[in-house]
Amino acid sequence: MAATRAGPRAREIFTSLEYGPVPESHACALAWLDTQDRCLGHYVNGKWLKPEHRNSVPCQDPITGENLASCLQAQAEDVAAAVEAARMAFKGWSAHPGVVRAQHLTRLAEVIQKHQRLLWTLESLVTGRAVREVRDGDVQLAQQLLHYHAIQASTQEEALAGWEPMGVIGLILPPTFSFLEMMWRICPALAVGCTVVALVPPASPAPLLLAQLAGELGPFPGILNVLSGPASLVPILASQPGIRKVAFCGAPEEGRALRRSLAGECAELGLALGTESLLLLTDTADVDSAVEGVVDAAWSDRGPGGLRLLIQESVWDEAMRRLQERMGRLRSGRGLDGAVDMGARGAAACDLVQRFVREAQSQGAQAGDVPSERPFYPPTLVSNLPPASPCAQVEVPWPVVVASPFRTAKEALLVANGTPRGGSASVWSERLGQALELGYGLQVGTVWINAHGLRDPSVPTGGCKESGCSWHGGPDGLYEYLRPSGTPARLSCLSKNLNYDTFGLAVPSTLPAGPEIGPSPAPPYGLFVGGRFQAPGARSSRPIRDSSGNLHGYVAEGGAKDIRGAVEAAHQAFPGWAGQSPGARAALLWALAAALERRKSTLASRLERQGAELKAAEAEVELSARRLRAWGARVQAQGHTLQVAGLRGPVLRLREPLGVLAVVCPDEWPLLAFVSLLAPALAYGNTVVMVPSAACPLLALEVCQDMATVFPAGLANVVTGDRDHLTRCLALHQDVQAMWYFGSAQGSQFVEWASAGNLKPVWASRGCPRAWDQEAEGAGPELGLRVARTKALWLPMGD
């Protein structure tokens, strides 16, 4: 009766107990490709777009090299068509109430659920990633993302009152990515009412499939458009006039180039750069679990990049032994095999890692043999890489782990923060105090305590420093695609003939303009740096005239060296100030408010000389004092705890100070604008270098007299002088963490261009005046959003 189906191999397997292949059929993926006649175009406005006379790129199985389909490459006119479709769709989509968008997103989640096998086999087949990660991780998370954002959309009118959708979003994705990266960004964008044009690299069918599934849902065909095309299309998409924001994910250097090329353009730019992660293993850690953390971070198909691993010296040997042991048991293989840990990621990824490992070895590191077999690259552990070698500075590629030792927790923080990258990190320690100390001290966007790589739709994910400061997930992800209601549309301020090399380079010389006259006391003189008035390095001064053209006073002519000194002073003051409790910071702001009120008559008379009515001048002083108090109160209610499905324990959403913030104040409202910008910056723990109103810096200097007595030295530094020159010095400064510029269009363009140096977040007014006396513009939530950065701190619990 027993008709034999078994092969002859059972005997051998019984002895060897080896693993066998667990192939996942990809027949449905091929069948779907067949519906497109194995030729994929673009999905625009609810229809497949397959224009003629386009280059095509083969979509290959990265393991067998088999040609699966050919993919048409978009050209500029296809980009324009897609942006136009998204622009038309935006009108309807954004006008609908949130609940309608919520329903649509929920329906998309249901469609994904119904066709998930197609999605995961197609994704795994084409990208080579382990199907288990795609099936159990990405596809499930994609549905959760849609559900979470549907809820956000349905409560948008109340929860996000005062904000409106930006418009059409241009989304640019890197060559090796999961379709999930697209989902993280389109979900919040669509939820708040934006529409999307996604530019995906050649031969990425999964995003096209998603667009088709969304498009076939019906009433809103143009909300998600997917184009596939080469990197050369990025600037073309970014500079389309209909695009309001460009969300870019990719390599840091590409992000930097895009930042420069988009300076002054209409679209805003959000950057999410790099893939490296960090793991801190202390001597109180559960080392075996930390080793699993390493596997999650770099040696599975979960994480996108490599890992920098810092191990406390006292557990170095133990940790390395366990890592080696664990590495030996990892399995590489075809992504569609259900029992492999790591698939293949194509030739480019292999070349990159091979180059990195060879270079690291030539610089003295140990890394074992460099394999030459393709297409799989084995998990690789690099140690003994000298800290000063070039390889120690660059990003670690997948699937490499670079291990280095540290002695104390303090040193670990120094080493960990000593890179320009600020993506994600995990801390492994069973000592609560130490874990929190490290978690708070790391300059990154996400910290997991005793875990690595957890993600959830309700938790914001992003970075700082050169990892770019755009966010996805949670409330922060929504604000990426929102702008304050009623503010004028952001227009291009591009001036083609702005010379970046010479803008603000030279300071026009200033000559004596006669003695100061007038009823008010002589204005304070000098640059307010490090808590006292100092003579400028240039030892010269510039005259300030009042509204009737008479000389009001002289202010010091600050220059590059004064900016350097001011930034240094701000940095020195930063750790102490950021370490203060919000309550303590509020108390000092309140003290400054009281001091301003005492100085009211002097301030009002100076404002009068600048042409204000006495009543209005007094109101400005009073409003300034109120702003200080309001921000002092507001900061005490910052941050909150998130609860994540499937995780026992909280996730803290921290709002941390940016660091040293440079602020170039507008000409108008010389007192109110200065204080309105100073107050939130200080309240959130930043220290500042400010360039006051060029027309009348004397008001700011009056405030400095009070700051000298109320504040610790270096908290707020005020440098007067030529606005363009000071702007240049600040914008090009690599150790200024963020910059706000309220001034000319040209200056804004320069600041945006120059920020590419350290990718500091910038906020430039582009020549648009702001109603500083209005609550929304002078003290609205936009300031609160821009003045601090988010960090998500995951705290899983268990005994």
**Amino acid of residue 667:** D
DSSP 122-182: HHHHHH---HHIIIIIIHHHHHHHHHHHHHHHHTHHHHTTTEEE--EEEEE--SS--HHHH
Q: Are 226 and 211 in contact (CB under 8 A)?
A: yes
* Nearest CB to other proteins, comparing residues 262 and 344: 344
**Amino acid of residue 588:** L
Pick the closest to residue 40 from 58, 22, 24 (CA basis).
58
How far is Cα 740 from Cα 690, in angstroms, rounded to an integer? 10
SS (H, E, C) 772-786: CCCHHHHHCHHHHHH
Pick the closest to residue 763 from 670, 659, 664, 649 (CA basis).
664
Pick the closest to residue 677 from 664, 668, 659, 695 (CA basis).
664
Could you give the 3-state DSSP secondary structure of residue 686?
coil
CA distances from 464 to 173, 564, 686 (A): 19, 23, 15
* Nearest CB to other proteins, comparing residues 143 and 467: 143
Positions touching other proteins (CB under 8 A) are 1-14, 17-22, 132, 136, 284-290, 292-293, 321, 329, 338-339, 341, 428, 430, 450-451, 648-649, 796-799
Burial status of residue 12 (CB atoms within 10 A of its CB: 0-12, 13-18, 19 or more):
exposed
Beta pairing class for 687-691 and 660-664: parallel
How far is Cα 691 from Cα 685, in angstroms, rounded to an integer? 19
Separation of first and last alpha carbons in the chain: 54
How far is Cα 304 from Cα 389, in angstroms, rounded to an integer? 24
198 beta partners: 171, 226
Burial status of residue 619 (CB atoms within 10 A of its CB: 0-12, 13-18, 19 or more):
middle
How far is Cα 791 from Cα 454, in angstroms, rounded to an integer? 14
Q: Which residues of 624-646 are buried (b: 16+ CB within 10 A; e: fewer)?
A: bbbbbbbbbebbeebeeebebee
CB-based contacts of 641, cutoff 8 Å, min separation 6: 650, 651, 652, 653
483 beta partners: 164
- The position carrying tokens 């269009």 is 745
Phi first, then psi, for residue 43 (nearest 5°) are -115, 105
How far is Cα 526 from Cα 86, in angstroms, rounded to an integer? 54
Which secondary structure element, helix H or strand E, spans residue 528, and what is its range? strand 527-529
Chain CA centroid to CA 341, Å: 29
Q: What is the DSSP secondary structure assignment for residue 488, as one 8-state letter?
A: P
Q: Are 287 and 319 in contact (CB under 8 A)?
A: yes
Beta pairing class for 56-60 and 67-72: antiparallel
Which pair of structure tokens corresponds to residue 409? 């927790």
Beta pairing class for 424-428 and 277-281: parallel
- The position carrying tokens 């002088």 is 721
Pick the closest to residue 226 from 208, 214, 249 (CA basis).
208
